[in-house]
Structure 1
Amino acid sequence: MITRFAPSPTGPLHLGHAYSALLGHRMARAAGGQFLLRMEDTDLERSKPEWADLICTDLRWLGITWDGPVHSQAAQLDSYDAPLQRLEKMGLLYPCSCSRADIRAALSAPQEGVTHEVYPQLCKSRPMSDRKPGDALRLHLDKALDLIAGREVHFVETGAAHAGHHAIDPGQAHREIGDVVLSRKGENIVAYFLASALDDAAQGITHVVRGEDLFDFTAIQVILLSLLDLPTPIYHHHKLIRDENGKRLAKRDDARSLQTYRAAGASPNDIFNMLGFNQTV
């Protein structure tokens, strides 16, 4: 078993991060496997070395150790070029110049099968030859699904909420995911969906342990892995840590950062108890 913790170094770790890191670490160690640490730092503007250092400090304070060096996506941006070029040669990419305002305006009108989270396909007819500086690159989901039609494309989930065998449902992928960005606008930097999936394959991750808020996006990563003939890991989407109002914790919740708890005199055991690690997780 090889698991990983893959935070973005754009702020301090909070209790939700601690839960995910501890769970992945304990699963790997209990199986005699490896636990890897990866910084998903392709957001070059918001990612900071000081946040990465603090993440390492917080993890060590919790007693979490990792195998090998810390992996940085920003340090190997060139490694994502070949997979993107392969997808382009397969005819699966198109350029997109839409701003968030453009997308919001398009979604304000009723459109069958489109939700506020799904790109309204404003640029879908543009060929790659029409790409201009500053354009993002999106996955042409229709063509991608056509290419994998007939294959056994699925993933195994071991998290309690979604445990079982999940075959890719094309209709659901269209409704809930759509044509995701694979290379970000104006940066020519690979986006999360592709970078994370590629690194899981490159690092030999056998079990992806992460919050259940990412479960719905697993299908698109499995589709990308299948298109690129890469192995699909087992997924374990765990419960989310919420505040007293039931709201999912985010990095803006600095009052719940591990750094704040540590400064207030909390011990790692206090954090374990707060996260219910004396119970089944």
Structure 2
Amino acid sequence: MLFTVSRIARPSAAPVSKAIQARNMATLKEIQQRLKSVQNIEKITKSMKMIASTKVAKAQRGMEAARVFGTASSTLFTSAETKAKDDDKILFVASSSDRGLCGGIHSSVSKATRRAVAEKPTAEVVILGDKPKAQLGRVIRNQIALTFNQIGKDMPSFEEASSVVDVIKGQGIEFDTANIIYNKFISVVSYEASIIPAFSEATFKASPNFAVYEIEDDVLANLQEFTFANGLYWAMVEGHASEMCAKRAAMENATQNAGEMISKLTMTYNRGRQAVITNELIDIITGASAL
């Protein structure tokens, strides 16, 4: 009877030890797999940071050129003392893009648009970019008149801005004042949501100092389309420069976070591996002492 109990008791201890070793080995394997995945992510984010860095300089050069023309249009309205009236029909144009992984670029435009629409509930909204469309569609779906995507995939051009203006006019969207909401580039690490105004023919013609320019009616229509497209191009280029800088900063932060995670996982893996080796040495020494 004693012999039978002893035979049952001995094998019960062995599976527990093997189970602990198997659990430790599985944990080490999981840590190793996660370490490799984080290392791959670090390579991707580092590459994306380098790509964004090369695009920042080009985007800033394009922004400086667009600012010259945009400032000229703004000066025209300022000199004519063109202002929106309280009962004007307002159109908001939210200018952003389709791409992600660039911080709060899209949220900045979306929040500014929501605040503007809250003050003018009857205003219509035109959205450039899939990201702000998804954010604004949940809140002001009924105010959205038109949306665009695949705009400014590389560097925004005046032709793209002109095409957007043509589509807006072709859809019969009327307005007295169009407020273009975009991300104004301040520095490589900061930006803020701002507004570029564009006015209709009637609003510009009603300006106090309009008679100084002596503009004919047929020229006025072309001028109105040009100033609208010019302001939209300015907004798109500034937003593109802000996006590239934000993307570079986001990828740099992601690379740093991945590096910190790699260090922690490496330390955890080395500690676990050392613990397994120590346990195996203890088993060997204990077995040798028993012999």
Same topology, TM > 0.5: no
Structure of greater relative contact order (alpha carbons < 8 Å, 6+ residues apart): 2
* Larger helix percent: 2
Q: Which has the larger radius of gyration?
A: 2
TM-score, normalisation: structure 2: 0.29
